[in-house]
Structure formats: C-alpha cells, structure tokens
Homo-oligomer: A and B are copies of this chain.
Amino acid sequence: MPRGECRGQGWWHGKFRGCGYRLTLGREAILDILSKSESHLSAEDIYVKIHTRYPSVGLTTVYRTLDVLSSLGMVYKLDFGDGRSRYEFAEGPKGAHHHHHLVCTQCNKIIDYTDFIDDEVELLNQTEKGLGQKYKFKITNHLIQFYGVCEECSGKK
C-alpha cells in the first residue's frame, strides 16, 4: 500500500543492502538527485539541492555518501581543476555510455562528448595492454580530458 513517497523502492536498494549498507533518507535523496541531473555537481551543489527538500541532511553526510557511492562504482568522482570535486552518476548497465570531457579553462563549462570514443577506446585498449605488459602495471582506469576555450569565451575578446 504505497502512500506518497514510499521508501526502499529504488533499483539501488539491493546494491546498498547487498554491501551491508543501511538504506537511509540521505542516501536515497543524494542518489535521486544525481540520477536526475545532467550536469557535474559538486558536493555543495548537491547539498543545496537536497536542503530545500530535506533540511535535515547535512553537508557532511553528502560527502560521506558520495564516498560510499563512488566506492560502489555508482558514481564517478571527477576533477576538472577548479578546486572542488565534481560527481556524475554512473548510469546502470543499460544507459551506460562511456564519455570523455571537454573543459573550458575560462568559464569552466564542461562538455560531455562521445564522438571518436570508439577510436579512442580502441587505442586505449591497445595502449593499456602494452603498458600493462611493459611496466607490469594492472591498469584499471583512464582519464582523458581536452582543455580549451569554448565558443562563448572565444567571443568575448
């Protein structure tokens, strides 16, 4: 008998419980916000959004939850060099489309791109294999970002 906002219905319920984590209001709220957001949110961005609906959830919990989520692989922790970490939902096995980032060094705009990803990924796989062998390195991850100046920022001379 669902009444209003019924807790514990999300697909991530199992993931949490399976790893021994308890299901709390803060965790659900944060995951909910991240899953619905298109942009790359900072801890404080998330805190502000949450605070309007759940004033009881503190910034500390946001940080702690983001740690848990990224250790579970449900969220990516990103660094675009603006002095604060940013987080992005790592969509489930369905909508998962690998992408890299284009970063404007003037206004900090971030563009997700998937173009060329196939070629990139192929080269990356090769490279990872080669490097892994030569340096006996077990490669688990890669980071690719392009920096430059976006269209708007080019305009303002």
List the interface of chain A (C-beta within 8 A of B).
Answer: 79, 81, 102, 104-105, 111, 113, 115-116, 119-120, 123, 126-128, 130-132, 134-151, 154
Contact = CB atoms under 8 A, between A and B. Distances in A.
Contacts of A105: 140-141
Instruction: Count identical subunits in the complex.
Output: 2
B143 A147 contact: yes
A109 B79 CA distance: 19
Chain A's interface: helix, strand, loop or mixed, by majority? Answer: mixed
A137 B146 contact: yes
Contacts of A148: 132, 137-141
Nearest to A105: B140
A130 B115 contact: yes
A154 B142 contact: no
Given A142-B144, A144-B143, A144-B144, A150 B137 contact: yes
Contacts of A111: 135, 137
Q: Which of A131, A137, A149 has the most CB of B within 10 A?
A: A137
B150 A140 contact: no
5 contacts: A119-B123, A132-B148, A139-B147, A143-B143, A143-B147
